[in-house]
Amino acid sequence: MVTPTTAQTAQAFRTALAGALANVSGVSIVPETASFNPEASGIFALQAFRPSSSESVELSGRQGLGKRHGVYMVTLSAPFGPSAKVQEAMGVAETLADAFRRRALPTANGPVYTDEPNILVVGKDPDERYSISISVPWTAWTGGVE
């Protein structure tokens, strides 16, 4: 078994996000550290890839199988106020949750498996915009005969 690298896993999520938003107008993918003008009219998608350490092996020895896991997060930032953008952002959040729900994302070294996404309405953020966060837990098998 060949293990997907961290870089391959992150790229698989970036590719899946771009694919999920390909037919959604008015949403821009931006770096996670971006700061916004509260008056900006668009919806922004900030992504963060958070791997954690590998778990102990299930079979002992050099050829043992273990799991690498983590969370991929997308935070949607929409203009705050009476505009329809907040409702539109909720619809985009549902679209993303559906796109990442229980999938096997392909990488050159094997699939990365996603679990059930969680949607959290964060509310008004420090940038004076409305935030909705989608968290996608993931797992990749590691180790084995390579």
What confidence tens digit (pLDDT) does each residue in 3-19 have?
888 899 999 999 999 99
136/118 Cα distance (integer angstroms): 7
70/52 Cα distance (integer angstroms): 5
55/66 Cα distance (integer angstroms): 6
What residue ranges do the domains of the chain occupy? 6-143
- CA distance from start to end of the chain: 5
Is the separation of the CB atoms in 100 and 114 below 8 Å? Answer: yes
Q: What DSSP state is assigned to residue 25?
A: T
Low-confidence ranges of the chain (pLDDT < 70): 1, 36, 38, 53-64, 82, 143-146
What does the pLDDT read at residue 57?
56
6-143 CATH choice from 1.10.8.60, 3.40.50.2300, 3.30.2000.10, 3.90.79.10: 3.30.2000.10
SS3 46: strand
Give residue for tokens 């329809």. Answer: 84
